Structure 1
Amino acid sequence: MDLQEISDRLEIEGAVVRYTRAIDSGTWDQLDTVFTPDAEIDYTESGGIADTYPAVKAWLAEVLPAFFPKRMHSLAQVDIALAGDEATCTAYFHNPMPMDDGNGGTKVVEFGGLYHHTFVRTPAGWRSRRLHEEIVWKRGI
């Protein structure tokens, strides 16, 4: 592995971490450092929407705090395949989120799955132009 490949891999992994931190902390504008403006995002397997980045960003900012006021991702097994100025990245995730149980208490909803990103090198660095969230398991729903 040469220095450029090491640098590319670290930058892509950093973008995936920034993505989960932005979702968990509700810092929605931080997502601008992860996605291309025309990125396509598909959350349909978890009950969400599939649309372009601007529409999904607005949807996330509205829906996540309303239903899941606290969020916490864990990432594992980040697999990156580089091909010039494009790359694919698949990362395992676990995402437990407490929510109102409808009886004055809380329950924890959990999702486990894979984030499938397609990255492209841009003048601003590596950005995801496609994200598909694959749900492998869920609990508490």
Structure 2
Amino acid sequence: MTQRVELAAVMDRLAIDALITEYAVTVDDGDWDAYRRLFSPGGRADYRSAGGIEGAADDVATWMTETLRMFSMRQHLIVNRRLEFGTLEQDVGDTARVRADYVNPMAFVTDGADGADADGKDGKERAAKGTPEPDFVCGGRYSFGLLRTHSGWRLREVVVAEKWRRITQHAG
């Protein structure tokens, strides 16, 4: 490999790492418009193994908007990222696949709160008022399919393979 090719590979790795991090942050912050922008045209997500749905990124974002209101706090930790590069048929564009483990502690909404702040974002104002203790924790593995577009790397596919979950019942 030439030094130029090695530098390009490092730059791609950094861009992909930033995209995966942005994915986690948009879900945790409930920024569904930003979530939608992470996907390439035709991008899809599959959360069925975690009790969710599979479909176009826009449809999944709409579903997540409603479903994740039940959690006042979410924090995706995406680790052990393994990245492989590829190309599409006939050299149409660059692709990549990332497999990564995750741990996702969350806290259920309590005290009759509806799970959404006045601006529609989840958890930001409540987090400033106190730190909720996670009472729902799950983990598993993500498989991200990525595509290089004119706008940079975008998600073509997100598949969640939940491996475990723990729900803590609090005395109340």
Alpha-carbon offset, residue 37 of structure 1: 3.0
Higher relative strand content: 1
Unaligned runs of 5+ in 2: 88-93, 112-132
Counterpart of 2:8? 4
Match of 2:47 in 1: 43
Pairing partner for 2:141 from 94, 99, 114? 114
Please tell me whether the aligned partners of residues 101 and 107 of structure 1 are also in contact (alpha carbons under 8 angstroms): no
> Residues 107 and 101 (structure 1 numbering): CA distance in 2 closer, same or farther, change over 3 Å?
farther
In structure 2, the CA distance between the partners of 1:14 and 1:33, relative to structure 1 (3 Å rule), is: farther
Structure 2 distance, partners of 1:57, 1:101, is 24
Relative to structure 2, which stretch is displaced further, 92-101 or 22-31? 92-101
**Structure 1 unpaired stretches of 5+:** none
Aligned length: 138
Partner of residue 81 from structure 2, selected from 78, 81, 94: 78
CA distance in structure 2 between the aligned counterparts of 1:101 and 1:45, rounded to whole angstroms? 26
String of CA shifts for 1:17-76, please: whole Å, max 9, x gaps.
0000001011111113421131111000110001111100111112112x1121011121
Q: What amino acid maps onto 2:42 in structure 1?
A: D
1:28 matched to 2:35: no
| RMSD (Å), alpha carbons | 2.0
The runs of 4+ residues in structure 1 deviating greater than 6 Å are none
SS in 2 for 1:69: strand
For the 8 Å contact 1:16–1:34, the answer to whether it is kept is no
- The TM-score, its normalising length taken from structure 1, stands at 0.90
1:92 aligns with 2:119: no
